[in-house]
Amino acid sequence: MEIEFLICLLLAEFKLKKDREILKYYTAKRVDREGIKWINKHPQYVKNIDGEIIVDKVCSVKSSVTYDTYENRLVKYIIKSIIKKLNLVKKNYEKESSIVDEKIKKSIEAMIYKLGRHLNYSFLKGVGDIYTMNSLSLVLNMSPGYKDVYKYYIMLLKGLMIREYIFKISMKDLAILYEYWCFIKLNSILREKYNLVKQGIIKFNNRGLTVTLTKGEETRVEYQNPKNGEIYSLVYNKKFKYDNIPTTPQMPDSILSLSKVGSNTIFKYVLDAKYKINPAVVDTDYYNKYRSPGPEEEDINTMHRYRDAIVYENKNNKNFERMVFGAFVLFPYSDEEKYKEHHFYKSNEKVNVGGLPFLPGSTKLVEKLIDDLINNSFESAFEDSVFQGGTYEYLDQVKFDDKEVLVAPLSSKEQLDINLKYNFYHIPYKNIKSSGIKFKYVAIYQSIKKFDKEAGIHYYGRIKGFEIVKRKDIKEIPKDSDELYVKFEIEEWNKLERPITCGPFGVTNRIYTNLFLLKNAKNVSELCIKTKEDYRLYLELKRLYEHQEEFLKVNINSKMIDENTKITGFKIGNLTIFINEGYYNIYKDDILRDKIPIEEFSKRPNAIIKRIRREIQQ
């Protein structure tokens, strides 16, 4: 609290004090209305001398600054109270301890000395004592220093006061207690890896610290991923009411909401605590189906209901779309290894609906699930579920057969300024004759040789029209030549939000790509990705090294890129993935670790990516 006390002393609150005194008229500096009233009540001081009215004495008002305010009196009282407590601690310590540690004693004395100086050598010396505790003023609620001093004083005075009924000594509903424990433990798991941004479990007010976790009331805790800035929130008793969904209201125990880099969709997952388990007694229907203890079938059906019933209306197309991407029952069971063979554990990966054991000492499967949900890209989240909100955002990004963008270089640095000024681009007809003019956009490639630090792809524009002309007819950049050129008229040149860098690569005379890659690529080599599967794999690898891009490289078969250039694989640290004859061959330290058919990857991308991720993380 030392810093807060210093802030109070430096930014001290004060008020203007008005003092009145009776003075000779020639010494008075100011007379207000109250002074005039005083003269009317004391006519003996008004004299008529030779027809001139003279006031002999007046009631003058004098303004002065005073620090004797309620807030400063409270600060003084707080300091005196702390000094009193410290003296009591010191006295009891010396009395009850068999061996007195001089360091502890001197530390207490130093604190008393510092606080005493605040009282004796500051404006607080002239501040009066406080006798009544009024309601909190705006100064104590908002003013720098004062609000923190008051807050810490209440914390010192009262400490942690548990005010929710679940902590009272009485009979408890174990199912409710299990819900509370699950929510608190889930937060503990998230807190180990991610930065806490906002918490709503413990709150501070003028009564002290209170725990606000209450059945039926919403509680939210937010975290941030330090690697990529993504925001995650865990909400207890999230209410989906009639005005939000078209059918019946829903209120699952806990909702994990994840933002993903590259997507505007918020991915929600239900984690519902159920304090019950089917023991799978021999010869029962449950035993005959599943062979081992697990969650009740009705609870799994509830998870399906949550996923289907919790929807939102897409404002763009007015369609209702599901916002829950997965729903999982948390139930009390300790044998995690045995449960891995259960039908409802395997269903987690297949349809993102199932159950997981969750008890003190048995949290590994839940921790793994949370890691997978967070580490998956938004493509993985879409493919783990079917027809979720934002599906069209995903499908629009995988048209890799489109050659809608021509990427072509410049013959000189001056050409860039002229092209941008007059909204056109020209290229020899022979360079694009074989492929035809089917593209819709032109992107300008600025070579390292001509542009040095400004090299890369910065500008692109939509083609408004084109004509085939002789080179000498392009008047903006004169040249005496009869060679045929294509002159593209550009609607408007746009600047990429993030320029595409060259790295060690260059572009010969042209390449073709799609608009999605143009807007999302960081390096020109990424424009050589030709299939959805290759891009999907690259996106997952890039996600793992979001802020360590030097570890991830796209390997291509030539440093000078043209329309026939292909990627040969990816390199991540000491792990290399080669694309060869329909397979992803994974090498680590030059040793073949896995061989994955690309056809299998296209059918089960999420499962294959988990295999690759395990190789990277080992």
Burial of 474: CB neighbours in 10 Å, binned 0-12, 13-18, 19+? middle
Q: Which two tokens stand for residue 388?
A: 């979720």
Report the b/e string of 291-322 with b at 16+ CB within 10 A: ebbbbbeebbebbebbbebbbbeeeeeeeebb
Fold topology of 397-521: 2.30.130
Q: Is 471 helix (H, G, I), strand (E, B) or coil?
A: helix
Closest alpha carbon to 224 in 198, 187, 202? 198
**Under 8 Å between Cβ of 355 and 331:** yes
Output the pTM of the full model: 0.49
The predicted structure's pLDDT at residue 162: 41
CA 365 vs. chain centroid, Å, equals 25
How do beta strands 405-409 and 441-446 pair? parallel
**Under 8 Å between Cβ of 271 and 178:** no
Overall average pLDDT of the 158-162 stretch:
48
Range with the largest mean pLDDT of 228-242, 372-386, 511-525, 529-543: 511-525
Instruction: Give the integer Cα–Cα distance in Å for 265 and 245.
Output: 18
User: Is the pLDDT reported for residue 275 higher than 60?
Assistant: yes
Write out the DSSP string of 166-183: GGSSS---HHHHHHHHHH
| Structure letter (DSSP) for residue 136 | P
577-594 pLDDT tens trace: 999 888 999 998 888 988
The predicted structure's pLDDT at residue 203: 61
The predicted structure's pLDDT at residue 160: 42
CA 397 vs. chain centroid, Å, equals 24
**Under 8 Å between Cβ of 271 and 328:** yes
532-556 pLDDT tens trace: 888 888 877 776 665 455 667 888 8
What rounded mean pLDDT belongs to the chain?
82
Range with the largest mean pLDDT of 113-127, 269-283, 367-381, 382-396: 269-283
Which helix H or strand E contains 138, and what residues bound it?
helix 138-142
Q: Position 602: which residue type?
A: S
Q: Position 175: which residue type?
A: A
User: Is the pLDDT reported for residue 517 higher than 80?
Assistant: yes
Instruction: Give the integer Cα–Cα distance in Å for 45 and 138.
Output: 45
- pLDDT greater at residue 135 or residue 307: 307
Q: Is 267 left (phi over 0), alpha (psi -120 to 50) or beta?
A: beta
Instruction: Give the integer Cα–Cα distance in Å for 138 and 70.
Output: 12
Overall average pLDDT of the 502-515 stretch:
86
